[in-house]
Structure 1
Amino acid sequence: MRRSDRKQDEPDLGVLAGRTLFALQRELFAKLAEQGHPELRPRHGAVLAYLDEEGSRATDLAAQSGQHKQVIGTLVDELVALGYVERQPDPADRRAKLIVPTEKALDHMTKSDAIIAAMEAAHARAVGEQAYAEFKRVFKLVAERQTGTAE
């Protein structure tokens, strides 16, 4: 059996996770574009998915997203130019900067949360509420174990 056939018939965790992520991103960003956010790309999720409403430090965004701080800096520059975030002094440490969402980002975050919730609800209806809840519980455990964040 060719490797590509095996990966198609018996996909491993990486293949399944990748397929799921890319399909989720395609649907999410297509719907966000329809709802007023056409300039955003999946790469911006490394900032926006982890951004606190009151602001976050770039180092925290890097740690949470698994991206290098330099990548986060580039993404923040793009998001500043697009009007989604601002850099402001951190009140807890004036030498540090907070990445703070603008109203545009808060709108995006609200819409993104609603779109993801609807996608999850559709999956739960398709496979059954209990099965989906168990899938998420186990997938979370696997993700935590893989990333070294398991308790």
Structure 2
Amino acid sequence: MRRGERKRTDPDLGILTTRLFFGIQRELFATLAEQGYGDLRAQHGAVLAHLDEDGTRATDLAHRSGQHKQVIGKLVDELEALGYVERRPDPSDRRAKLVVPTGRGLAQMRDSDAVLAAIEARHAEAVGRDAYAGFKRTLRAVAEAGTATR
């Protein structure tokens, strides 16, 4: 077997999840651009995908996304300049700030959820709804087990 052929014929979990992730990401951001969100970059997903409607601390966004706090800070700065989020004092701790979606941010979050639901429905249709539900349960368990050991 030639070098690299094994990964093409029997890709490991990293390769498979990377293909899935980047495929979904490309479709999501292309569709969002068509819907009027062409100013977003895929990197902004590290914030937008993990943002709660009532706001989230940057440290929590960093933890949820697996990104460094400095990266999240830069992305929040960009999203704030684009009008998707704003920083507000955290009512539970006035020293802390929450990253809160604006009206545009909330609309983008809803539109993003709809695009992702359509992608998932298409995948479920392709492999069968029960098989897809089982796949998601298994993938979630594997992902959670992987993060528990770190």
Give the TM-score band, short-chain normalised: over 0.9
Q: Report deviation, 1:119.
A: 0.5
Task: Identify which range, 100-109 or 2-11, moves more after superposition.
Answer: 2-11
Aligned-partner SS, 1:107: helix
Aligned to 2:66: 66
> Take 2:43 and 2:70, find their aligned partners in 1: how far apart are those partners?
13
> Take 1:40 and 1:98, find their aligned partners in 2: how far apart are those partners?
21
> Take 1:16 and 1:123, find their aligned partners in 2: how far apart are those partners?
15
> Take 1:52 and 1:136, find their aligned partners in 2: how far apart are those partners?
22
Q: 1:1-150 counterparts in 2 under 5 A?
A: 1-148=1-148
The TM-score normalised by the length of structure 1 is 0.96
Q: Report deviation, 1:20.
A: 0.4
Aligned-partner SS, 2:28: helix
Amino acid at match of 2:80: V
> Take 1:4 and 1:102, find their aligned partners in 2: how far apart are those partners?
47
> Take 1:74 and 1:105, find their aligned partners in 2: how far apart are those partners?
17
Q: Report deviation, 1:148.
A: 1.1
The TM-score normalised by the length of structure 2 is 0.97
Q: Report deviation, 1:48.
A: 0.3
> Take 1:113 and 1:94, find their aligned partners in 2: how far apart are those partners?
31
Q: Report deviation, 1:4.
A: 2.0
Change over 3 Å in CA distance of 1:10–1:30 after alignment to 2: same
Q: Report deviation, 1:44.
A: 0.6
> Take 1:2 and 1:13, find their aligned partners in 2: how far apart are those partners?
20
Aligned-partner SS, 1:3: coil
What 5-or-longer segments of structure 2 have no aligned partner? none
Q: Number of matched residues?
A: 149
What 5-or-longer segments of structure 1 have no aligned partner? none
